[in-house]
Structure 1
Amino acid sequence: MLQVSYIRENRDNVLERLAVKNFKQPELVDEVLKLDEQRRQTQNTLDGVSAEANAAAKQIGELMRSSKKEEAETIKSKSNIWKEDIKKLSEQLSGIEQELQQKIVLLPNLPHSSVPKGITPEENEIVLEHGDKPQLPANALPHWELAAKYNLIDFELGVKITGAGFPVYKGKGAKLQRALIAFFLDEAEKAGYDERMLPLLVNEASGFGTGQLPDKEGQMYHVGVDNLYLIPTAEVPITNLYRDVILKADELPVKNCGYTACFRREAGSYGAHVRGLNRLHQFDKVELVQVVNPDQSYEVLEQMSLHVQGLLQKLGLPYRVLRLCGGDMSFTSALTYDMETWSAAQQRWLEVSSVSNFETFQSNRLKLRFRNAEGKTQLAHTLNGSALALPRIVATLLENNQTENGIKIPEVLVPYTRFEWID
């Protein structure tokens, strides 16, 4: 959530940055400012009446003690008017604050100055490309056919049990999943992240705190009876561990990681590009979250990007890094890097990670602060990144490593899988 004070002092810049993000309701900025002005005026009036009432109460006490009861009664007779005014102004202020809150949460985060203009994924900026694309024979199979051939994943069983987008992993397919999760968590631990095991359901306050609500409720699975939401990513419960927390300066950076299943409705997704593991409703992911001093957040963002790239390099997967354009960024992000791996059988890039800096957008909602060197509290910066999401990693591992003799397991995973080949 943007800070009202920043909008008030930087209106033109806010409108300029929202335009980069292709925001369709710029009029909300002036609506927020109008409500903010009303709020401040009403607060000032309420403070004035309250001060007058408090002064009168003090004066009444003094008059009563000096036996000037008639004067005291005269002033006391006005107290009901003050009480009524205070009640009326308080109700008016509460209504204005509620309307202001409803408006300001509709404003997305402002994109960083380095974010390119653009609307579609095709307008994202390619930062770098690493590795050689494998040259597969003409009869190479896509991962969903490889999964069937080697009895690794059963998509139809998932449909029977739950529905489309809920695959069943079998045999070496299940072991490969488990191996990747353990590998990613071990690498996170080496990088200084503290692991968390987390609830898969969160309350509305948690969804609001990280910005999924009210923006993404249509993409989240909702348990109506209990008003709980299945998590779309471990970012939500991990970051909310620090809701309403004031950290000490020497506690920063906070570095947490966690493995969870993730649930996304992905409404409207269809077509060839969502076949197999390309787009699921339930998938596994290891997530990294950091809470940092604002002075260091963009340096940390680069470090997190390098960590993800290191995982892809160790797996031997060709990849590229994209800086997302304004129109392709999330509601909450100030700057996002996407990492994509090359699917040799499908002949296209598949997104496997997003690493984002949210600056104070989430921490303002969460009331997540730290006490700086001067002893004053200020909002921290939050960041998160997938390290990594498994489905498309599995897809590209299967496709890129297929041979006539089977599928070769990357060397770094063999200690985890305890087999070198899928055959």
Structure 2
Amino acid sequence: MTGTAALPGTDVDAPASSVATVDRCLDRITKRDNVIQAWAFLDPELARAQARARDGEHRRSALHGIPIGVKDIIDTADQPTSYGSERWEGHRPDRDAEVIRRLRQAGAVILGKTTTTEFATYRPTATRNPHNPTHSPGGSSSGSAAAVADGQVPLALGTQTAGSVLRPGAYCGVFTLKPTYGRWPFDGVLPVALTFDTVGGFARHPADLAVLDGVLADPGPERDLPATAALRVGVLRPPWADRATPAAAAMLERTVAALRDVVGDVVDIPVPEDLAALDEAHTLIMAAEASAALADRIDRPGKVSDQLTRFLADGRHAPAGAIQNARIVLRRARCFVDDAHRDVDVLLTLASTGGAPAGLTSTGDPVFNKLASTAGVPAVGLPTGTGTDHLPLGIQLIGPAHSDQSLVRLATCLTDRFGLAARCPLPEELP
């Protein structure tokens, strides 16, 4: 039998079975779903049936019996995958994505499908930020971030092409991992721009991200980071720093000051001015690749938003010279990150420009996330404070390729030992 269904980072007493864990999640969803609206598909009886099966088995892994939310661009054979689009509403894939197969093999319970923006691009969902429902949860992994932040599920999967894991994680005040490019398999996931597309995770404690990575990562090299006392941290000073709100900029400086007391060295790393073009270059390559990747997805009856239509047209009609120049900028960005990691062990920057935007018409600005997405290196997002409006703010730690496990251990140490990050309270715990 499984015994307790709990994760190592869980900060509350866990029920004694997977069924009890799932029921607790379902009760929370029933209480809050009319406000948060984080789920694209949820079948309580299917979830309970999975949990009963897990309770009748020997424990397979630390994820055994643990419910997980899954972004609705990741294929599930027993649940619809609609890609955030009316055109694909009710679509049933023939088989699970590889990440889902691995989760099931580890004994996890696929609780349901979380909301995503349209084809994981720009049109927002109806999902709301748990800390203030009049604000966005971010995107495109809107439902995954909001569901974990609201205590509706302990773990969730999302994807990142520009900033769709790190940014909503920061807005909703949860921990996130954007793994090394290709570390978690992408088979069975909607492609948007395969130069950048990466499956990532959301949790309320960084130790739980290490468990998720242990189940999902392909075998390969692992790069260790030095112990905290010997760690060299480089604070990125990018040309886009002026896009941060005053509250976010001040939070970053407080975090840097606190880090100086616990790590070996903290230095500034100026980002070259010519990389100011990275934001535009990334957007152009994403549009060009999405126009090809999504062509057959929109070739069926149903509405496509004007925003997506314009975005795909921009990519489809982009001049060859502009594409070439954009790829040159991407290459410079990768070289910059590689060079920076020769001088320091970890890079530090904001995870978003500030707190979650008011209203539900925008999922926010991913400019602070594009460097890690372009370089293909791992990044861990940590909630490190709140702004003047009491909405969460966060930083990201960017490590060299294949340092994922070590980077998550560092985040756990900074959270548990030094208190530089902490889970954001559930809405009812807010003052």
Q: TM-score range by the shorter chain?
A: under 0.3
Between structures 1 and 2, the one with greater helix share = 1
Q: What is the TM-score of this pair, normalised by structure 1? A: 0.28
Max Rg structure:
1
